[in-house]
Structure 1
Amino acid sequence: MSTVRRDNPLITTPGRPLPKRVAIIGAGTIGPDIGYYLLSSIPGLQLTLVDVAQDALDRAEARLNGYIAKGLKRRRLTEAQAEQVRSGLRTTLDYDAISDAEWVLEAATEDLPLKRKIFAAVEARVSDSTIITSNTSSLPAARIFSELKNKSRATVTHFFAPAFRNPAVEVIRYEACDDEVIEYLRWVFAATGKVPLETSDALCFMLDRIFDNWCNEAAYLLEHATASEVDSVAADYVHAGPFFVLNMA
């Protein structure tokens, strides 16, 4: 069995710079949060947010504006950073708008046929060098990307809610994806304040298995405390309590 060398992503020299053009497919719950993280951490980024429903795009834009206002109020954002987020966002119903993206990230519903349909549409429009990833929390990469013509540039990058604040993000290593792509994604996340967790391509990966058991234990506590009380205590140790995260889903 061959062994893959895993260097610290912060001391590696990537084969390409931070992306300047990223597209996210899905303007529901987590897609906009991922977009806010990317826009606020990568200078000069142009982000295209794609959805099939205009009202979803409108809600996503309103949410990002809310994050900006809160960031300014709490002095976590400067005016220049806030303007970068505002000016870097483009929303659209048109998949053709992603043709120049260097990285396309899917954040749609956990539906395997839907995800395969999305990736077929993406692959038909982007260049051969474009990295393609899914934010699925449970579906193995080998299943999601089984119908792609070029699987070597595709894998799973699973963000944990709330995605703009929680540092954890899983990067799935599986045999069809080039090691260079995996190492580049690890570097991007480390360079932008995330903690990339390399995980094998197992059902539900690592974070979901931990989270599901955490939620089960939290449910037992409802005999002695309210959901908000459980979340309040949990928030002293992690970025969000179990019931808060469940309500986001």
Structure 2
Amino acid sequence: MEIRNVLVVGAGQMGSGIAQVCAQAGYQVYLNDLQEDIVEKGLDVIRKNLDRQVKKERMTESEKKSILERFIISTDLKDAEQADIAIEAAVENMEIKTRIFETLDQYAPEHAILASNTSSLPITEIAAATKRPGKVIGMHFMNPVPVMKLVEIIRGLATEDEVYQAIENMTKSLSKVPVEVNDFPGFVSNRVLMPMINEAIYTLYEGVATKEAIDEVMKLGMNHPMGPLTLADFIGLDTCLYIMETLHEGFGDDKYRPCPLLRKYVKAGWLGKKAGRGFYMYE
């Protein structure tokens, strides 16, 4: 199963990062979003990332030019007709994702693999929206994609071994490390990470310590590169809440109950770095 052409659905932070590493690895990349200006914004981010690499002498100007020439702007999912794989990196919402997969299934050639970059939603349920559940798989990249090495590869109930192998090979071609995971809420990364972040928020909520103290304990005591409250701000508090709700609903266990303070911040629009305010203030 040879993969040459990649369609990335969603030109936001994750989608543009996935598109960048695919183009750097030599794939032809269709970068898709609802409007051309959103795709252009994603390409601007990619250009800036590549400019930094040139400045640091990690790539040449001609290499950068070759990478940028591999991009095709797309605003129509009908472009899935050209794809060997479509990687969906849209908003973390089951209704939106299943709608995208239904459309991709309609247009993508029979051999094409349909992958989701979901961080917590069940691949089996996403696959059920298609007529090719055996060719649907999870490909969960870490943020920021160009920097982070890990890709969780999630098998749905029907995912074929040949499809898993093709995705594992592709992941290695992107200079990433594939890790096989079965289809459970939150997979491994967010099942472990999000309850830790949620517990840090409870620790603040209950007045055990200040936000700065909580972050310092985890950085200096546990050797984490950043504290859990800072990390939550970087991820987005709305995303953290959504994943905790997915875990809570998926397992039916109150140990995954989102902290009321997390809900309050999200309702206030204090979503973290992207909103200028979360647990900390940002310019």
TM-score, normalised with respect to structure 1: 0.82
1:9-56 Cα distance to aligned partner (Å, 9 max, x none):
xxxxxxx34x2210011112210011111111x22x210011112331
* 1:16-165 correspondence to structure 2 within 5 Å: 16-17=1-2, 19-40=3-24, 42-43=25-26, 45-165=27-147
1:180-219 Cα distance to aligned partner (Å, 9 max, x none):
1112211221232111111110011111112213423554
- Structure-1 separation of matches of 2:28 and 2:117: 20
Higher Rg: 2
Contact map agreement 2:140 2:151 (CA 8 A) in 1: yes
Q: Secondary structure at the match of 2:13?
A: coil
- Structure-2 separation of matches of 1:52 and 1:120: 16
Q: Which amino acid aligns with 2:210?
A: E
Evaluate the alpha carbon distance shift between residue 234 and residue 33 of structure 1 in structure 2; reply closer, same or farther with a 3 A threshold.
same
Equivalent pairs counted in the alignment come to 229
Higher relative contact order, chain-length normalized (CA < 8 Å, sep 6+): 1
Contact map agreement 2:215 2:226 (CA 8 A) in 1: no
Q: Which amino acid aligns with 2:47?
A: N
Q: Which amino acid aligns with 1:91?
A: I
Q: Which amino acid aligns with 1:245?
A: I
- Structure-2 separation of matches of 1:79 and 1:125: 36
Counting aligned pairs with the same residue, the percent is 25
- Structure-1 separation of matches of 2:118 and 2:273: 15
- The answer as to 2:198 corresponding to 1:201 is no
Q: Secondary structure at the match of 1:65?
A: helix
* 1:170-249 correspondence to structure 2 within 5 Å: 170-216=152-198, 219=201, 220=203, 223=210, 225=212, 234-235=224-225, 241-246=231-236, 247=272
Q: Which structure 1 segments of 5+ residues have no match?
A: 1-15
Aligned match of 2:250: none
Evaluate the alpha carbon distance shift between residue 182 and residue 48 of structure 1 in structure 2; reply closer, same or farther with a 3 A threshold.
same
Aligned match of 1:5: none
Contact map agreement 2:157 2:183 (CA 8 A) in 1: no
Give the CA RMSD over aligned residues: 2.6
- Structure-1 separation of matches of 2:9 and 2:16: 10
